[in-house]
């Protein structure tokens, strides 16, 4: 199955144009086909001293165990509007991995605590953006490599380019702080970083964005904790967090989201949690795929942006094999999911 690029939210409105896909369109393998094994191949990710692209954070706790990303929702009640929202998404709509080798997916970078902090000029969401991380001087620890090398910023273009979501995710491993920006661009004329919005998070706390505020994501949530990451898939332990997912449109927001990016009747709100039904058999999938799908059953998927229905976000990583991921995800359909009680906590 060839990948279809999700059309993203536009800078001025913060609302994506959806990629319209027919609910009856069938791509990839049938529901009964067994996907092949996910190949794990070595990759050297060390770029420079102190800067590590796709650093292995699988052994570290991202946000406290009780955080909304990490809570077990396997026994949460189904929302009374679940069937209606699944019908709106499309009961035959196929799931899709919105990640893979470059340029697909969102990269992330690990840096040391001494990485220089650089100012970022935010527009149009400057009033809802963070100047820096809690308890730290202003600025974002953006590596110089992001200006001149591809794949540090979503989209695969050095310096970010001028179109697409262009998310930049940087983790300060020493202070355990998360820095995220949207519509990121290095402006060589003014020698400065620019972005549409930015947010920072202390990964040891449960602090939420102020009510009504966005983040680097439309819903006001952090992006990194919801990514399907190769380091977690390759690790021995299970994935212990919810996954980020998009819908072609949304209608307001519910907790844990803090920001809306649409008011389409019938659409799920930002912050909606989908849960893969317990009845969906996983035994026919290889262990790595089972791990991802089990996370969908235990922790669910949180609607965090407008894009394409049931597109699950993951890290850009050359170790992914889309020829294996796409058929596996494509075997999941809209009616394999429930919407759990809106605002569940």
Cβ atoms 198, 177 nearer than 8 A: no
CA atoms within 13 A on the CB side of 274: 32
Q: Other CB atoms closer than 10 Å to residue 214's CB: what's the count?
A: 25
204 prior amide bond cis, ω within 30: no
Residues forming a β-bridge with 180: 169, 199
State residue 323's pLDDT score: 87
Q: Tally DSSP H helices, then E strands, for the chain.
A: 5, 15
Q: How far apart are CA 163 and CA 267, in angstroms?
A: 26
Burial of 341 (0-12, 13-18, 19+ CB in 10 A): middle
83, 182, 321 from 299: Cα distances, Å: 20, 25, 24
Which DSSP helix (H) or strand (E) runs through 275? strand 273-276
**Per-residue model confidence as pLDDT tens digits over 84-108:** 999 999 999 999 999 999 999 999 9
Question: What contacts 187, CB < 8 A, 6 or more positions away?
Answer: 193, 194
Tally of CB atoms within 10 A around 264: 16
CA 166 to chain centre: 12
Looking at residue 49, its pLDDT comes to 54
Regions in the chain scoring below 50 on pLDDT:
1-48
Strands 337-339 and 273-276: antiparallel
The DSSP line for 104-170 is SSB--EEE-TTSPPB-EEE-SSGGGS-SB-TTS-BSB---THHHHSTTSSTTS-TT--SSS---EEE
Dihedral over alpha carbons 85, 180, 68, 319 (to 10 degrees): 80
SS3 209: coil
């Amino acid at each position: 199955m060839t990948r279809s690029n999700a059309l993203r939210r536009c800078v001025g409105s913060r609302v994506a144009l959806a990629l319209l896909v027919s609910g009856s369109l069938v791509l990839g393998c049938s529901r009964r086909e067994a996907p092949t094994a996910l190949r794990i191949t070595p990759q050297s990710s060390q770029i420079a001293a102190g800067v590590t692209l796709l650093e292995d954070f699988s052994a570290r706790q991202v946000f406290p165990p009780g955080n909304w990303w990490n809570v077990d929702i396997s026994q949460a009640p189904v929302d009374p509007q679940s069937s209606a929202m699944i019908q709106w998404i499309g009961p035959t709509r196929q799931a899709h991995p919105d990640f893979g080798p470059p340029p697909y997916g969102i990269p992330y970078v690990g840096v040391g605590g001494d990485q220089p902090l650089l100012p970022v000029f935010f527009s149009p969401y400057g009033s809802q953006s963070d100047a820096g991380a809690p308890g730290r001087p202003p600025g974002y620890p953006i590596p110089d490599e992001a200006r001149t090398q591809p794949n540090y910023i979503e989209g695969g273009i050095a310096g970010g380019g001028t179109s697409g979501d262009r998310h930049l995710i940087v983790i300060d491993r020493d202070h355990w702080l998360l820095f995220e920006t949207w519509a990121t661009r290095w402006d060589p004329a003014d020698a400065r970083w620019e972005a549409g919005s930015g947010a920072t998070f202390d990964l040891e706390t449960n602090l939420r964005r102020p009510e009504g505020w966005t983040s680097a994501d439309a819903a006001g949530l952090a992006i990194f904790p919801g990514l399907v990451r190769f380091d977690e898939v390759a690790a021995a332990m299970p994935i212990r967090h919810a996954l980020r997912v998009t819908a072609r449109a949304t209608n307001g927001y519910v907790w844990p989201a803090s920001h809306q990016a649409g008011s389409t009747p019938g659409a799920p709100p930002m912050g909606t949690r989908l849960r893969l039904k317990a009845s969906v058999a996983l035994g026919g999938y290889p262990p790595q795929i089972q791990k991802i799908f089990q996370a969908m059953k235990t922790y669910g998927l949180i609607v965090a942006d407008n894009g394409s229905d049931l597109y699950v976000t993951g890290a850009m990583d050359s170790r992914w094999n889309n020829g294996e991921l796409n058929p596996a995800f494509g075997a999941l359909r809209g009616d394999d999911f429930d919407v759990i009680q809106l605002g569940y906590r």
